[in-house]
Chains A and B, each alone.
Chain A
Amino acid sequence: MDQQQDVIKDIKKTEYAIEIDHLKKSFDGGKDFVLKGIDLKIPKGSITMVIGFSGTGKSVLMKHILGLMKPTAGEVRVLGKSLSKMTKSELHKFRINLGVMFQYSALFDSFTALGNASFPLLEHRREMSLEEAEKIAGEKLIQSGLDSKHFHKLPSEMSGGMRKRVGLARALALDPQILLYDEPTTGLDPILTEMVDNLIYDTHHSRKGSTSVVISHDLHAAFRIGDHVVMLHEGKVLKQGKPEDFLNSDDPLINKFVSTGVRREE
């Protein structure tokens, strides 16, 4: 409870949901850096698109925001709180402020759609009965666009689009202030891509004051739904700003990304 109040106090203090200072990350003890000093501020209440070629460290950046990885140097502050100053159990509690939709949904494969969506509630609201949790989870599933006839299906019995919806419902279960999406549309067909983009957009705008961060290869989506775009390149922020700024840029790399807008394989 205190934690919650602290967070609310801090939120008033800062207009940024996520602040990253000089973040560096090396996996081999400092020989080679994946992130080479990232400075980034993600405004509250916006949809921020993080784009960049494959392998530039977008997922690594996201894992730092979630506190799943420790920075080699630099600092990450989420909702005004420095992650590196938290103990492990504080971090675990703090994470109820974050919801994540993983690239491949990462649904628990032994649970049904309803089981997946109610899992965070049953873990964090231990006083809640199973019926209550499932009622709320059901609402989130409907909100994410899953028909109630699919509630009792296992992930292995769902289509890719259904899994995304369940993944979103699970991320929404605890009403987090920040929602992160790791490549929500990579590998989907154009129709499904548009559906997921709309889902992100609608979800964001139906939850007042929430912040969404979308990691993507898809520049069209960035233009369609993004308020703020950050482009990473080789572990650095190449450019950040409004979507229009990217169209009018004369940086050759940005132009290349804009003109292809697709994944470049190494």
Chain B
Amino acid sequence: MASTSAIESIDSFFSAFIKKKLIGPIEAAGKFFIFAQKAIASIFAKPFRGSEIIQHLEFVGNQSIGIILLTGAFTGLALSFQIWIGFSLLGASDLVGPTVALAITREIGPVLTGLVIAARAGGAMAAQLGTMRVSEQIDALEVMGVEPIQYLVGPRVLAAVLATPLLCALFDFIAMAASYMLSVHFLGLDEGVYWERIQLWVDPSYVYEGLIKTAIFGLFFGLFCTFRGFTASGGARGVGEATNRGVVVSMVMVIVLDYFVSNFIRFYYLIT
């Protein structure tokens, strides 16, 4: 008797352990993928949510311009200055322009835009939908015969996918403008050399690569933050948790996805 119960308790311990550590996350991932699939399909479903989409584009895009200008300008300034200090020791200050341009267009622009917008817009999405969930507004929508994913999630995700690359382009532009100002007008680099080297080293495809990456970041944080909000439960605490988890995971995933998508794009260029 005693031994069977010991085995049983070990058994139940392991099954509980497996359930918590293994099946739980897999189940959560499965739910997320089903949600993501529904959300993407809903963008193309009728009725077309034009005014909703414009409203969220305004929120994700227009209202982020200030913060992007600020972060972009200071990133361009700081990066140029640091690189200039190092390169001028080696007498390679001609290369400040292209080095900054490469770093901004390929990595720093997309990643910082992704991080800033995921925190700002993604956080708001998770909080809004979470509040709507716990205050029964989503139930109310459903009861009124409105498909809540189509009404609430589709337009937000689409806005994130469209607006994030545009903001990245803005970030790239303003960072380079700031870099140019500092390098040419304050650090005394030659204007002609500065631009000539950039043209020589930086390919337009690097900029496009950044835009593709940010569209993917937008897709991810749009889906994940709305998923967190949509499935929130447990009052104000639940909304806070959903927002927190949504933003943290989105920000980490921007950095993780950046690596994989960059490699994938490089691989794509290699084979074509």
Contacts and interface: CB of A to CB of B under 8 A. Distances in A.
Interface of A: 63, 66, 68, 92-96, 98, 100, 102-104, 106-109, 119-120, 123-124, 126, 170
Interface in B46-94: 47
B145 A124 contact: yes
Contact of A95 (B136, B137, B143): B143
A68 B143 contact: yes
B135 interface: yes
Given A92-B147, A126-B47, A108 B137 contact: yes
B227 to A, nearest CB: 19
B142 interface: yes
B1 interface: no
Contacts, number: 48
Interface of B: 47, 131-132, 135-137, 139-140, 142-147
The winner among B47, B142, B143 for most chain A CB atoms within 10 A is B143
A103 B143 contact: no
B145 A68 contact: no
Nearest to B143: A100
Given A95-B145, A102-B140, A120-B144, 16 more contacts: A92-B146, A94-B145, A95-B143, A95-B144, A100-B140, A102-B136, A102-B139, A103-B136, A104-B135, A108-B137, A108-B140, A109-B137, A119-B144, A123-B144, A123-B146, A126-B47
Nearest to B136: A106
A85 B72 CA distance: 56
A29 to B, nearest CB: 12
A68 B135 contact: no
A119 B144 CA distance: 9
Nearest to B137: A106
Contacts of B142: 68, 92, 95
A103 B135 CA distance: 9
A96 B145 contact: yes
15 contacts: A66-B143, A94-B145, A96-B144, A98-B143, A100-B140, A100-B143, A102-B136, A102-B139, A104-B135, A106-B137, A106-B140, A108-B137, A119-B144, A123-B145, A170-B144
A103 B147 CA distance: 21
A92 B150 CA distance: 13
Contacts of B131: 109
Contacts of A124: 144-145
The winner among A63, A96, A120 for most chain B CB atoms within 10 A is A120
A92 B136 contact: no
Which 9 residue pairs spanning A and B have beta carbons closest together?
Answer: A106-B136, A106-B140, A95-B145, A92-B145, A120-B144, A100-B143, A102-B136, A106-B137, A123-B146
A93 B144 CA distance: 9
Contacts of B145: 92-96, 120, 123-124
